[in-house]
Structure formats: structure tokens, C-alpha cells
Amino acid sequence: VTYFINGRRETPFPGEERGLVPSPKVPTYDLQPEMSAAGITDTAVERIRSRDYDLVIMNYANADMVGHTGVIEAAIKGVEAVDAGVGRVVLATLSVGGGLLITADHGNAEQLIDYSNGKPFTAHTTNPVPLYLIVPQLASAKLRSDGILADVSPTILQILGIPQPKDMSGRSLIV
């Protein structure tokens, strides 16, 4: 996620700190569908509680990587691991007065059967993905329903009170 949020730049920006939690070394992720969700959660919660960061960006790869296996039972376990982690991250963030924006760039685990032939479906989907804005100060805010991925960064910038660069083509989802 870092590479894409940084405009396809590998080198960290000044002031940027990265914390990478490695994925497990298994032949296929259906063999360990929880992947590194607990470690990712622990790292995020620790950083959130430290109050040293204005922004924490994280990625749970479970629904994507386990979804590619097409093993429904494993995908369920992977999503359950993410659900448990997200719950902890939400509680930690709200406990320090922060806010969250939770979304995905594509679907995968929500469709594991090819509707045309009943066989496993292992590719990314083009289904709409949810976006959750959990910011107590914006509890009454309305969000546009026509958003696209390019609108996520402008939304984050608006929440942080940072002007949007002219090169950024998206627009904030907050109406």
C-alpha cells in the first residue's frame, strides 16, 4: 500500500516511517488464512496509542491473497482475522481521539464462485467496495456516493486540514 499511496514512489518521504510486517512463508495462503493480521494489528495499535503519528496507513492483505486461492473456508477465516484486527484498531484510534477511513481498492473474497460455471473464482472483482468514515468530529458529514479510488487521498487530506495538490485529480468524498 505504501508504494501506491506515495504515488508509486519506493523511497520514503522525509518524516515518513514504515513498519512492514512480513507475510507468512507458506505455499498458498489458504494454509494460513490469518496471515499476519495479528502482527499488523499489534503494530498499528502500538503506533496509534503512542500518539507520535498524524496518520497511520495500513493494509490487511487477507481478503485479497486468500481470496486468490478460491478456498471459501480459508477466505472466511482470513476475513474473520481482519475483522478482529479492525475492531482493535478502531477502538485504539477512538480511544486517542483519532478517526479512521477504511476502504479497499478492489474486491476478491466477496465472490469466490464463478456464477457462470460454479467453479472457484480467484480473480479480483470490479464490485463496489465499502468506505467507512469513522471520525467523531465528522459524525454528521455526508459522503458522495459516486466516489472512486482517486478520491480517497483528497478525503484524507481534507480530514487532516492539508491543501490538495493541483496534480491530484480526485476530489474529497466529504460533501
Q: Is residue 163 part of a domain?
A: no
pLDDT at 134: 97
Q: Is residue 170 part of a domain?
A: no
Mean predicted lDDT score pLDDT of the chain: 96
Q: How many domains is the chain built from?
A: 1
Cα–Cα distance measured from residue 145 to residue 122, given in angstroms and rounded to the nearest whole number: 28
Range of the domain at 77: 2-140
What DSSP assignment string belongs to 123-135? S-B------EEE-
Q: Is residue 165 part of a domain?
A: no
> In this model, does residue 167 exceed pLDDT 90?
yes
Q: Is residue 37 part of a domain?
A: yes
> In this model, does residue 156 exceed pLDDT 90?
yes
- With cut-offs at 50, 70 and 90, classify the pLDDT of residue 7: confident
8 Å CB contact between 170 and 148: yes
> In this model, does residue 1 exceed pLDDT 90?
no
8 Å CB contact between 78 and 34: yes
| Cut 0.85: pTM above it | yes
Q: Is residue 21 part of a domain?
A: yes
Return the CATH number at 31: 3.40.720.10
Q: Is residue 164 part of a domain?
A: no
pLDDT tens for each residue of 42-87: 999 999 999 999 999 999 999 999 999 999 999 999 999 999 999 9
